[in-house]
Amino acid sequence: MQQRQLGRQGLTVSALGLGCMGLSYGYGPATEKQQAIALIRAAVERGVTFFDTAEIYGPFINEDVVGEALAPVRDKVVIATKFGFDCDKPGQMLNSRPEHIRAVIEGSLKRLKTDYIDLYYQHRVDPDVPVEEVAGTIADLIAEGKVKHFGLSEASAETIRRAHAVCPVTALQSEYSLWWRQPEQEILPLLAELNIGFVPFSPLGKGFLTGAIDSRTTFDSSDFRNIVPRFSEASRLANQRLIDVVKALAAEQGVTPAQIALAWLLAKAPWIVPIPGTTKLHRLEENLDAVNVTLSQKALNNINHALMQIDVVGDRYPKHLQARVGK
């Protein structure tokens, strides 16, 4: 497995990480615990060293699974988790007050079976707490040895600058893929300027870019995609044009659509580390093989040209969640 560096504080990780959320939360019923642990350990065996979780996934269940799975190899892997919600209250209320961060990190450390967190993200920007206070709190936790690196998720360019001035930001995690390219406008240039790594989540478009989902696909009643406008039946039908393009490019390269989507991200910059998630071993292996797919400049130009001709239909979040991103 190839290695990449996030930020300028020396955090080195595998070129592809594993997003663990879907094992416990968001995409239907949670995967049986031992099966989830087996999948995470299979990723380790195949060279993955970067694992992403959060206290809100479950809540708490996903950190428990990740902690148990990685305990035998703790010193060989990088664990990223997140704070920023009050998990003891209904409705996913934001809470990044310094005293709350200090309280919840103790729970995350216990569940993850570790005494430090490699990369600690603010999950969503809290409009009631200046980001400078958040960054200062993380700087203190770094000084105490409980955190190694500071990250932000779905933050705006202004917020990233303000936080970085107080405590160096190692990585930003936000959605980025062939069908969500907004980060190219402001975020990617800023990250290049400040030497901050980028960790795209949903690099396969929540499964859509694999080509396995079409307008007739049905989701479990607890699947988050049921409330995502981009996954309405009409939107999926309209967005099929993008999948047709990706499938054609994959056929030309002799690879899968998912591998095209991941290889495209990996080719964007050496400090980009996508974190595709899966519950299936064969999908894990397919995703990891994307590091061996080299897209020529001509192929990249063809992809970018094709994308310019396509307008993706549907918002990526319902309105109440869209209001929490880009702050």
Is the bond into 59 cis (omega within 30 degrees of 0)? Answer: yes
Categorize the per-residue pLDDT at 167 as very low, low, confident or very high, splitting at 50, 70 and 90: very high
**317 tagged catalytic:** no
Give pLDDT tens digits for 199-213.
999 999 999 999 999
Calpha distance 49→232 (Å, rounded): 35
**Inter-residue contact 52 to 275 (CB < 8 Å):** yes
Categorize the per-residue pLDDT at 90 as very low, low, confident or very high, splitting at 50, 70 and 90: confident
Query: Looking at residue 176, what is its pLDDT?
Result: 98
As a whole number, mean pLDDT of residues 292-320 equals 91
Query: Looking at residue 89, what is its pLDDT?
Result: 86
Query: Looking at residue 5, what is its pLDDT?
Result: 98
Q: Check whether 293 has a pLDDT greater than 90.
A: yes
**Quick check: helix, strand or coil at residue 138?**
helix
The candidate with the shortest Cα–Cα distance to 36, out of 258, 284, 252, is 284
Categorize the per-residue pLDDT at 31 as very low, low, confident or very high, splitting at 50, 70 and 90: very high
Query: Looking at residue 44, what is its pLDDT?
Result: 98
Q: Check whether 112 has a pLDDT greater than 90.
A: yes
As a whole number, mean pLDDT of residues 146-152 equals 98
Query: Looking at residue 172, what is its pLDDT?
Result: 98
As a whole number, mean pLDDT of residues 90-101 equals 94
* Helix segments in the chain, DSSP class H: 33-45, 61-70, 98-111, 131-143, 157-166, 187-194, 233-253, 257-268, 281-288, 297-308, 319-322
Calpha distance 257→240 (Å, rounded): 13
Q: What percentage of the chain has pLDDT greater than the value 70?
A: 100
CA distances from 99 to 111, 142, 234 (A): 19, 16, 45
CATH superfamily label, 3-322: NADP-dependent oxidoreductase domain (3.20.20.100)
The mean predicted confidence, pLDDT, of the chain is 96
Q: Check whether 91 has a pLDDT greater than 90.
A: no
Domain range summary for the chain, segments of one domain joined by +: 3-322
Q: Check whether 306 has a pLDDT greater than 90.
A: no
Check: pTM over 0.95? Answer yes or no.
yes
Query: Looking at residue 92, what is its pLDDT?
Result: 87
Query: Looking at residue 218, what is its pLDDT?
Result: 95
Query: Looking at residue 51, what is its pLDDT?
Result: 99
Query: Looking at residue 302, what is its pLDDT?
Result: 87
Tell which wins on pLDDT, 100 or 320.
100
Among 57, 120, 121, 176, the one annotated catalytic: 57
Residues in Cβ contact with 312 at an 8 Å cutoff, skipping those fewer than 6 apart: 179, 180, 230, 239, 242
